[in-house]
Amino acid sequence: MGEKESFNRIRQNKIFLLETLSEDPNIIVQHVQEANLISQREYKNLSDITKREEKVISLLDILMGKGEKTCCQFIDLLRQEKILEDFPKLKNHVVIAFPAMPHTSPVQEVSQYKIEQIPRGVCVIINNVDFATMKERRGSDEDQKCLAKVFHWLGFKVVEHRNKTAAEMKNLLKEVGKTVDGDCFVCCTLSHGMKEGVCGTDGAVISVDEIREPFNGNNCQKLAGKPKLFFIQACRGNRNQQRVHVQADAPDDEESDMEVDGDDFDITIPADTDFLIARSTTDGHSSYRNPEEGSWFIQSLCRNLKQHCPKGTDIQTILLSVNNEVSRQGLKSKQMPVHEVAMRMKLVLLPANH
């Protein structure tokens, strides 16, 4: 293979490899160790990781960190018949295609957003806890604290707002859009929700389109062509997502002290580029929040950002890990986060002191 072709092939197909190899990560780790691509110590450290996606992410990061020669040997390993029998999705996929992929063109090489400034940009957190006619969102302060700490660590200027009406939310976001600058923008909204959008503390609604509109290319030239991330913790309905096999004789499971974040609301990804909207749950379903510890989604997001950002893992891969982690929580009721993307490149957010 040419210079860095194997490395680039793994990097460009990282999400596919994560999804495919996570079906049985112990097998691929064992094969990699037997091929002497990792040390005994690295093998032991990988074996100690219990979560499938985390194990595969760590394995890929280790192999890519060893350089082009190891990446080439890994791709050759993936072509072996015993591997293809265990992971049939690999067959006929570009990641093991032969001959090698052509050299990456200059356009393909520009595959990552430029994130260099300190601060990286602004992270706005809107935390609605106390409502005029709706239930108090206990535990949301833990989400706010965690988000503020993580994004400050990632080099953002964090601006926090609490208990805002719908009109106040709309106005403050418009003002932020007039002055915001930096290489990236983040907006975290923690609130109740309904079909029409996200609730203010007065029970009125601000649509998701109104949340992101101040930051599109027409209204915010300083963010044109730059990544804009929106994390929304709120229900999209009041249905519970049931697991495939549920214990009908366990009515008092761990969800007994959980709370939900409102009624049904809907989000659509905007036509504008460079937007990512990550939602705590799928359409029509509840989103869970522990009154003491915070919400499943936000707490998982913060944990995964802290774990994977220092490794240079891109945000979409991190969100895949969040999806898997949250989907495994709960006994009777389940939750499945989703993210919708209109971005042109990968986004890697390293800690400010990295």
Q: Angle CA(87)–CA(34)–CA(62) in degrees, nearest 5? A: 75
For strand 184-190 and strand 197-199, is the pairing parallel, antiparallel, or unpaired? unpaired
How far is 46 from 63, CA to CA, in rounded Å?
A: 12
How far is 309 from 135, CA to CA, in rounded Å?
A: 35
Helices (H), 87-231: 106-109, 140-153, 166-179, 208-212
Q: How many CB atoms lie within 10 A of CB 306?
A: 15
How far is 332 from 91, CA to CA, in rounded Å?
A: 37
How far is 210 from 263, CA to CA, in rounded Å?
A: 19
Contact 242, 333 (CB under 8 A): yes
Look-up of token digits 């366990």: 250
Residues ≥6 apart with Cβ < 8 Å to 65: none
The answer to whether 31 is a known catalytic residue is no
The answer to whether 235 is a known catalytic residue is yes
Catalytic residue among 187, 235, 302, 309: 235
As given in the structure block, the two tokens for residue 279 are 């939602």
As given in the structure block, the two tokens for residue 90 are 């690999």
CA nearest neighbour of 148 among 301, 310, 311, 290: 301
Residues ≥6 apart with Cβ < 8 Å to 130: 136, 163, 201
How far is 185 from 165, CA to CA, in rounded Å?
A: 22
How far is 218 from 232, CA to CA, in rounded Å?
A: 23
Catalytic residue among 146, 192, 199, 285: 192
Annotated catalytic sites, by residue? 192, 235
